[in-house]
Amino acid sequence: MFISQIFNYKYDFWRYIIGVIMVIAGVIIGQIPLTIAIFMELGLESMDVNMTQEELMKVLDPNYNFFLLLLSYAVGLLFLFFAVRKIHGQSLVALTTSRPRIDWSRFWFAFGLVSLFIIITSVGDYLTNPQDYKWNFELVPFLILLVLAVVMVPLQTSFEEYFFRAYLMQGIGALARNKWLPLVVTSVIFGSLHFFNPEVTKLGNIIMIYYIGTGFMLGIMALMDEGIELALGFHAANNLLTALIVTADWTAFQTPSIFKDVSEPSAGWDILIPIFVVYPLFLFIMARRYGWKNWKEKLFGKVEKPEILNVSEEI
C-alpha cells in the first residue's frame, strides 16, 4: 500500500517537521537568484515596495524570469530528496510508488492523455475565438523556452507532486492512520498555496475552487493507483503545454509562447466544468485502463502498520 509502506522507514512525526522546514528553506534559498536579478535590473532608485507580482514578473527577460522562477522548485526538490533519504532513510521508489519499480509507462500515459486534451481544446478555442488570441511566436525565444521548459517544468511539477502527494500524504497518513485526512489536507494546502498566483488577483477567489479541486483529483490518482506516477505525468503535461502554447499578461508563467491570450479574463461557475466534468473523465479513463476497484477502501480506508515489514527496492 502506497501510504502504509512508510512504516518500513523512519516515520516519527518530528522527522516530518524537520523535513518540511528543510523543504521550505530550500525553496527560499532557490528564490534568492530571482530576487537578486530583479533588484539588479531595477536598481535601488527604481525599487518600489508597492509593485505587484504581475509587474515584478515583467522586469526580466521572459525566458530568464521563467528559469529563475522555476529554479526555487528545483532546489526545493533537492532538499526534499535529501530529507527523505537522510532523515527518513526512505528510497525514491518507496516515495514514488508501492510497486517494486517506478512505472514510467504510467507517467507517459498520463502525460500523453493530458497533452492531447490540451492541444485539442487549445486549437478548438483558437479556431472558434480567434479574436481572443495574438500570434506571439518568435523562433529563437521559443526554442530557448522549449529547452528551459522541458528541463525545468518537470522539476517544478515533480517537486509539488513528491511534496504533497507523496511526502505529506504518507506522513499525515501514518499519523492519522486513515486515507481521507491526508487526501483532504494535502489537497487544500496545495490549492491554497496558489492563492498568491496572479490569476487569483485577476479572476477572483472563485478560481481557488479549481486549484483545490485539482489537488483532490491528483490525490485521488495517487491513492487509487497506489503511486504518484500518473499524477507526475498529468501535472508535467499540464504545466509544460500551458507554458509553450499560450501566455497572458496576468498568468504566473510569462513566456514567449506560441499564442498570447488578449481577451478580458473572467471566471464564473464555468470554472466548475473541469472539476465536475473533465477531471472525472480523466479518472474514468485511468480507472478503466488500470483496473481500479474498491474505491471506498482506497480513499477512506484505514492505514494499518503491516505485521511484516518489507523494504522496497532502491534505485
Question: What are the grid coordinates assigned to 113, written together?
Answer: 492523455
Q: Is residue 306 part of a domain?
A: no
Q: Is residue 305 part of a domain?
A: no
Among candidate residues 235, 256, 236, the one with its CA nearest the CA of residue 247: 256
Euclidean distance between CA atoms 48 and 50, whole angstroms? 5
Quote the pLDDT of residue 44.
Answer: 59
Quote the pLDDT of residue 266.
Answer: 76
Q: Is residue 313 part of a domain?
A: no
Q: Is residue 137 part of a domain?
A: yes
Euclidean distance between CA atoms 72 and 168, whole angstroms? 19
Q: Is residue 30 part of a domain?
A: yes
Q: What's the whole-model pTM score?
A: 0.93
Quote the pLDDT of residue 313.
Answer: 40
Quote the pLDDT of residue 314.
Answer: 39
Quote the pLDDT of residue 305.
Answer: 84
* pLDDT digits 0-9 by tens, 53-99: 666 667 789 999 999 999 999 999 999 999 999 999 999 999 999 99
Range of the domain at 119: 4-300
Backbone angles phi, psi at 167, to 5 degrees: -60, -55
| pLDDT averages per 10-residue partition of the chain, 315 residues | 94 97 98 92 66 69 94 98 97 96 98 97 94 94 97 98 98 96 97 87 87 97 98 98 91 89 80 92 97 96 76 41
Quote the pLDDT of residue 104.
Answer: 97
Q: Is residue 55 part of a domain?
A: yes
Q: How many separate domains does the chain show?
A: 1
Q: Is residue 309 part of a domain?
A: no
Q: Is 314 exposed, middle or buried (0-12, 13-18, 19+ CB in 10 A)?
A: exposed
Quote the pLDDT of residue 213.
Answer: 96
Q: Is residue 279 part of a domain?
A: yes
* pLDDT digits 0-9 by tens, 249-265: 888 788 999 999 998 87
Strand order in the sheet with 259-261: 133-135, 259-261, 246-247
Q: What are the residues facing 227 on neighbouring strands?
A: 97
Among candidate residues 96, 99, 114, 166, the one with its CA nearest the CA of residue 285: 114
Amino acid at 116: L
Euclidean distance between CA atoms 304 and 4, whole angstroms? 6
Helices 62-86 and 13-42 cross at an angle (nearest 10°) of 160
